[in-house]
Structure 1
Amino acid sequence: VGLVLGYLTIPVFARLDDPLNSLLLTVAVALGTFQVGQWLGVSGAVAVVVAGLIFGNLGLSHQTTASSRIILLSFWEYASFTVNTFIFLLIGVEINLLTFWQTLPAVLLAVLAYQVGRVLTVYPLLAGIRWFDRPIPLRWQHLLFFGNIKGSLSMALALSLPTTLPGRDLLITLVFGSVLVSLVGQGLSLPWVVKRLKLSTISPTQQQMEEWQAELITAKAAQDELEGLLKSGILPKSVYEEMRSAYQVKVASAERSLREFYNRRPGELQGSRGDYLSKLDAIRRRLLLAEKGVLNEALRKRILSEAIVRGRLRTLDEQLLQLEDD
């Protein structure tokens, strides 16, 4: 159901050129798919998930305007946060603590069962990835197995069960208990697992680059503070010049090291190429956001016309999305 409805919506979405109409279409697809699924006697929640996967991967293509993509992504990010909040609140209202305590052994068995299922899916499937794409390191496979944290979708599926279904309360309690154990057990220990697998370590190149940046940032901040002390009369000029020269040596050294790093050719970077590109992308993103801020301020102050600002903002949004896609 989700596959068919998601695919049939793509041609309609491609003909829309207004972000608000595109947004309303996605809402209609989500609500309509759920209702059709329920009417046909299948899981409406699963149908919506599949429709979202089809629509998001095929409909929301690079041909979609930047403004439409930003509005859609922002809206659904906020919507998912809101829905998650209400689902957890509803589960809290539905659960009986006495029933939960009585079903605790079954909850632990359910957790064990889905972890075994995770083992049987993650490792065999990812072992075959090497035939189609780059192989995924074993450490990342361990993380994918342990990161099997359950959340709101599991609880939404349980809450969507018919109220006349025998044992519905027990099933909801079982699902809630599994989610609770998953969030508390796996969720709280996941950072420790990431550290043990050494997946969050900073490369030597990035560490050295950030050392230079820290040196430059702190030295310039101290120079700015010295300027203020001199202008306020707290610091005499002779002392100011002596202290400023000491910081200027640090600034010059850090600037020279960073300049040499950024002036390297991509072929000379070897293992640090990823750090180099990610750092440049972060800088480009900040510059593009600064340009957007100036344009919005100019529009607010009536310095520039709305037509000019909207056109430039659209171009900047496309460049930001290109950075995200890369």
Structure 2
Amino acid sequence: MQQPSLGSNPATNSQTAGNVPELVIILIILLLLATAVALITQRLRIPYVTGLVLAGLPITEILSRQIGLDPSLVLNLFLPILIFEAAINTDISRLRSTFKPIALLAGPGSIFSSAIIAVLVKFGLGLPWVPAFLIGVILANTDTVSMIAVFKEIRVPSRLSTIVEGETLFNDAAALVLFNLVLVVYATGSLTVFEGVKELLVVALGGAIVGGILGYLSLPIFVRLNDPLSSLLLTVALALGTFQIGQFLGVSGAVAVVITGLIFGNLGLAHSSSASDRITLLSFWEYAGFGVNTFIFLLIGIEINPATLWNVLPSILLVILAYQLGRILSVYPLLAGLRWFDRAIPLRWQHVLFLGNIKGSLSMALALSIPLTMPGRDTIIALVFGAVLFSLVGQGLSLPWLVKRLQISKVSEVMQETGQLQIQLIASKAAQDELDSLLRSGVLPKAVYEELWASYQARIAQSEKVLRDLYNRHRAGQLEGDRKGLDAIRRRLLLAEKGAVSDALRKRIVPEDLVQPYIKELDEKLLTLEDD
């Protein structure tokens, strides 16, 4: 039996080694280009990701043959990194308080929008049903990166920001599940409604179970790791491994990564022994997400060929109209009915949710992942690429303008002062906690500890005094219209009460007939608070 030998193909190895310097040069060019884009977008005050796409367009002919947007790379490497980074920075308590609008938009809203787009594309362009539904699913997806990037530059109410982040986070997972379901229909030729619903539930719930198990299994390992660099390795393995395990088991890897990231970010990081370790880990993931975004959107610009899109421009315009109409008919009617069982979403916010329907890397990766045997594959890719280009440039540039125009980000002087005082309180109390830890570990002498602790206590006392004065003025009616800062605190407290009582009910500590009226009273109080 012939034994395999290392380096058995010298020609292949030599060719690979010869390509490395060329790839390094291309990488350097892209990094320098991204740096220039960052400087220009900061000066012009336009979204960074939009600038990256526009910068990539002129160099399409130069680099597109040497590098490309590999869908396998995006789905198996880039996507898990982006989802995990977003998930670990998402507060579950905030997510829980906005779960109903998020579930409406990412669930029924996504399916309804996909169906509307598919019908319009089917009858408008004469495409078969399967390609039409593929376009619908691909373009019903909202890009996580683009929306969060805009909201990082412009302050918006935290409830609106949470709804957008939560929808885009779960929308990625929903798009992958629906996309695979349409491919099943293409492969088998038919699928009943019952089988489709069953497949969706198995894939989505299976992904949630896998993510929950892996997330909880990682917690005791993370707690025992005192080295921040080892913790980084664990999180990278967790993000990429969770996605691969989910895919291997036939469930949604994206859903699994979302759940794992939420568990790790809300339970794992809270038990980190050192604040510096938490900062190191979060900083790493922020840089990883930023780096992945940079390369993805540059590659999107390089991948798109304007000359090719020009040839099918009328069809692209119809597709753009279709996905915008799908978004309109899924956002406004669904959120109009939300007032019957949750706090209403202001109409101005709904305008932002409509225009914020920006497409991005996942849409392009899904389009490139369509099987080569599917008729009209090249047409589908061209239509999706054209819609993505319009979305990133047109909507990406107009969204910040719309947010400012609607005065959603308007903040009063009192709210500004309250926010600064809250930051001082949070920072000072965190520093005191770290001092306590250093004293217990023997690193800090007690005399030094007492001096530093007292200096922070003075800052806390001053901040609390000013906040108390603001609160008393508010109660006296002197600050009419500046309730939002205090209402945000009240909401956190009421949600904490609701969570504690619900936990007590699950553990059978208190009777249900007493709990339900109390929870109803808490819900009524929550509905009276202004949106933060």
Q: TM-score range by the shorter chain?
A: 0.5 to 0.7
Gaps of 5+ in 2: 1-202, 419-462, 489-531
Q: Give the aligned partner of residue 494 of structure 2.
A: none
Q: How far apart in 1 are the matches of 2:321 and 2:209?
A: 35
1:272 partnered with 2:478: no
Q: How far apart in 2 are the matches of 1:199 and 1:97?
A: 35
Q: Give the conservation status (yes or no) of the 8 Å contact 2:242–2:257.
A: no
Q: Give the conservation status (yes or no) of the 8 Å contact 1:3–1:50.
A: yes
Change (3 A) 1:34 1:158: farther
Q: How does 1:41-80 map to 2 (within 5 A)?
A: 47-62=252-267, 63-65=270-272, 66=275, 69-80=278-289
Q: How far apart in 1 are the matches of 2:271 and 2:237?
A: 18
- Aligned-pair CA distance for 1:272: 2.3
Q: How far apart in 2 are the matches of 1:34 and 1:105?
A: 38
Change (3 A) 1:21 1:134: farther
Q: How far apart in 2 are the matches of 1:39 and 1:9?
A: 14
Q: How far apart in 2 are the matches of 1:33 and 1:166?
A: 33
| Paired AA for residue 153 in structure 1 | L
| Paired AA for residue 3 in structure 1 | A
Q: So what's the TM-score if we normalise by structure 2?
A: 0.37
Q: How does 1:138-149 map to 2 (within 5 A)?
A: 138-149=347-358
Q: How far apart in 2 are the matches of 1:70 and 1:154?
A: 32
Structure with greater Cα Rg: 1
Q: How does 1:220-235 map to 2 (within 5 A)?
A: none
| Paired AA for residue 127 in structure 1 | A
Q: How far apart in 2 are the matches of 1:9 and 1:24?
A: 15
Change (3 A) 1:21 1:259: closer
What SS is found at the alignment partner of 1:179? Answer: helix
Q: How does 1:54-133 map to 2 (within 5 A)?
A: 54-62=259-267, 63-65=270-272, 66=275, 69-133=278-342
TM-superposition CA deviations, 1:284-321 (whole Å, max 9, x none): xxxxxxxxxxxxxxxxxxxxxxxxxxxxxxxxxxxxxx
Q: Give the conservation status (yes or no) of the 8 Å contact 1:5–1:29.
A: no
Q: How far apart in 1 are the matches of 2:465 and 2:266?
A: 38
- Aligned-pair CA distance for 1:35: 3.8
- Aligned-pair CA distance for 1:148: 1.2
Q: Give the conservation status (yes or no) of the 8 Å contact 1:100–1:173.
A: yes
Q: Give the conservation status (yes or no) of the 8 Å contact 2:243–2:256.
A: no
Identity %: 59
Change (3 A) 1:136 1:92: closer
Q: Give the conservation status (yes or no) of the 8 Å contact 1:3–1:54.
A: yes
Q: How far apart in 2 are the matches of 1:267 and 1:162?
A: 65
TM-superposition CA deviations, 1:54-81 (whole Å, max 9, x none): 1233332244425565444333322222
Q: How does 1:8-19 map to 2 (within 5 A)?
A: 8-16=213-221, 17=223, 18=225, 19=228
Change (3 A) 1:39 1:149: same
1:31 partnered with 2:236: no
Q: Give the aligned partner of residue 150 of structure 1.
A: 359
Q: How far apart in 1 are the matches of 2:356 and 2:484?
A: 25
Task: Give runs of ≥4 in structure 1 deviating > 6 Å.
Answer: 258-261
Q: How far apart in 2 are the matches of 1:127 and 1:117?
A: 16
What value does the CA root-mean-square deviation take over the aligned residues? 3.7
What SS is found at the alignment partner of 2:407? Answer: coil
Q: How far apart in 2 are the matches of 1:48 and 1:166?
A: 28
- Aligned-pair CA distance for 1:23: 3.4
Gaps of 5+ in 1: 211-257, 279-325
Q: Give the conservation status (yes or no) of the 8 Å contact 2:363–2:384.
A: yes
| Paired AA for residue 261 in structure 2 | G
| Paired AA for residue 399 in structure 2 | L
- Aligned-pair CA distance for 1:157: 2.5
Q: Give the conservation status (yes or no) of the 8 Å contact 1:34–1:48.
A: yes
Change (3 A) 1:26 1:128: farther
- Aligned-pair CA distance for 1:85: 2.3
What SS is found at the alignment partner of 1:272? Answer: coil
| Paired AA for residue 57 in structure 1 | L
- Aligned-pair CA distance for 1:22: 4.4
Q: How far apart in 2 are the matches of 1:150 and 1:170?
A: 18
| Paired AA for residue 219 in structure 2 | A
Q: Give the conservation status (yes or no) of the 8 Å contact 1:13–1:22.
A: no
| Paired AA for residue 335 in structure 2 | L
Q: So what's the TM-score if we normalise by structure 1?
A: 0.57
